[in-house]
Amino acid sequence: MHRHANQLRLGEVPKSRSGRWEAIAAPGASLFLWREFLPPSRATSSLKNLQQQVLWQRDTVKVYGKEHPVPRLHQWYGDPGTAYTWSGITMQPQPWSDELVKLRRAVERATRRAFDSVLVNLYRNGHDCMGWHADNEPVFGKRPVIASLSLGAERDFVLRARADHSQKVVISLPHGSLLVMAGETQARWQHALPRRKKVTSPRINLTFRKFM
C-alpha cells in the first residue's frame, strides 16, 4: 500500500480531523483511510448487533443467462425513495435501525457529509467476496463520495485503474476502519474484495451513499 500524507486534499475531508486521515496514493482517485475510526469495543458491538439484526438477503445474479448466487449476504437501508438497482437486482430500502442511525451519524460527523442510504454486506468468511465493479450508477452523481465502514475480519480491498488493469492498489481494511472514496475514484478506478480462503471469521462492510 502507498501512503503519502502530503497528498491529502483538504476540503474533501474535514480539516479538524485531517490528522486522523491518511491519503492513499492512486493516480486520479481520491481515497482517504481512518484506520482507528471506531474503538475496537464499539466496532465489535456494532458487528454483533448487525449480524443479528440485519434482515440478510441472499440473491442471485444472471450472467450470460445463467443464475449464480451472490457470494455474500446483503441488505439495503435508506430514506424513502432510495431504491437501488445493480447487476439487475433492485433493492427496496429497509428503514434505518437504531444501530445504523448511530453509525451513520458517526460517519457523517467524521466526513462532514450527509448520507441517505447504505449497502450492508456480510462476508461470512474468506470464501465470500465481491468482484470488480465501480459504484458509478448515475443516481449517485458524477463524483460520488462513498464512505465505507469495515467491521470484523481484516480483508484486502483492491483497486485497479480502468485504463490499465495492471495498475493496482491494495488496502487492508481493519476492524473499525473508515475508507472514503471521492472525486474521480468511481469514474477512473474499479474495486473488488477478493476471496481469501484462509479467513475464517465474518466481516461486515457498510458503504454509505447519497442520492443526487
Ligand X SMILES: O=C(O)CCC(=O)C(=O)O
Using CB under 6 A as the criterion, which residues of the chain lie in contact with ligand X when the complex forms? 119, 121, 130, 135, 148, 157, 191, 193, 205, 207
Q: How far is the CB of 189 from ligand X (least distance, A)?
A: 11
Q: How far is the CB of 17 from ligand X (least distance, A)?
A: 21
Q: How far is the CB of 127 from ligand X (least distance, A)?
A: 14
Q: How far is the CB of 135 from ligand X (least distance, A)?
A: 5
Q: Nearer Cβ to ligand X, position 104 or 191? A: 191
Provide the grid cell at 8.
491529502
Provide the grid cell at 84.
437501488
Q: Nearer Cβ to ligand X, position 10 or 208? A: 208
Q: Nearer Cβ to ligand X, position 8 or 118? A: 118
Q: Nearer Cβ to ligand X, position 15 or 59? A: 59
Please give the residue whose beta carbon sits closest to ligand X in the complex.
205
